[in-house]
Amino acid sequence: MGIQIAVLASGGGSNLQALLDAWRSRQFGEAEIVLVVSDKPGARALERGRAAGVTSIYLDPAGFSSREAYDRELAGQLSRRDISLVCLAGYLRILTPEFTRLFALRILNIHPALLPAFGGPGMFGSHVHDAVIVSGAKYSGCTVHFVDEGTDTGPIVLQSMVPVMDHDTPKTLAERVLVEEHRIYPRAVALFCENRLQVQGKRVRILEKA
Ligand code: GRF
């Protein structure tokens, strides 16, 4: 059995779709996407998962007394399916330290800026692009990184850069960045599946293909 992958998503799920497409076109070798989880009942991500024939479940935060209890249920759902890679794709809940420890170096996230800039608490969605434009930065981009106990602080796997244009709004910049997200996230997952990511402290070395 290859690596079993779960994707957690709260929203539109365009990154989930990029991962599903890459998997279906055999870019992940023997690895399989076997589960999609969302904390939002109407998330388009759930529809996308189901359309791809993947078990897609809504886990209602209201049914749990704490974040810890929620993440314990989540961890149970993942362990039951032998998940060894968790991909966050627009998942808006901060994972508990207990969860990130349990899946240490087995959780990837995509962030719509060039970390370590424009990350951290509150830096999600259009807030990120807005902050980039206000800062006057000439370039933005996206980052795939491992998730550790901090917010957007884990080891960086891949990044891609896009220019910030004078006329950009958060929406136009987000669209330009998203094209790159859809390109590098599947690539990072493929590298993980090929066991080519070697983490040394904060640095991730990409090993040559065996
Ligand atoms: C993306 O911009 C991603 O970087 C961020 O949330 C957004 C999710 O978009 N983490 P989608 O749901 O994948 O379309």
Tens-digit pLDDT profile for residues 65-123: 999 999 999 999 999 999 999 999 999 999 999 999 999 999 999 999 999 999 999 99
CATH code at position 194:
3.40.50.170
For the question of residue 111 being annotated catalytic, the response is: yes
Q: Which residues of 96-113 are buried (b: 16+ CB within 10 A; e: fewer)?
A: beebbebbebbbbbbbbb
Q: Average pLDDT of 161-177?
A: 98
Q: Residue 113: what pLDDT?
A: 98
The reply to whether 72 and 145 lie within a common domain is: no
Tens of pLDDT, residue by residue over 10-24, are 999 999 999 999 999
Q: Residue 210: what pLDDT?
A: 79
The DSSP element (H or E) to which 174 belongs, if any, is: helix 170-193
Q: Residue 81: what pLDDT?
A: 96
The reply to whether 68 and 128 lie within a common domain is: no
pTM: 0.97
Q: Which atom of ligand 1 is nearest to the CA of 181?
A: 4
The reply to whether 70 and 89 lie within a common domain is: yes
The whole domain housing 149 covers 109-210
The reply to whether 46 and 128 lie within a common domain is: no
The reply to whether 89 and 144 lie within a common domain is: no
Count of structural domains within the chain: 2
How many Å apart are CA 72 and CA 69, to the nearest integer?
5
**Both tokens assigned to 168:** 């950009």
Domain boundary, last residue among 49, 72, 103: 103
**Ligand 1, atom 5: closest residue by C-alpha:** 90
Q: Residue 9: what pLDDT?
A: 98
Question: Strand order of the sheet with strand 197-200?
Answer: 55-58, 32-38, 4-8, 83-88, 107-111, 139-146, 156-163, 203-206, 197-200
**Ligand 1, atom 12: closest residue by C-alpha:** 13
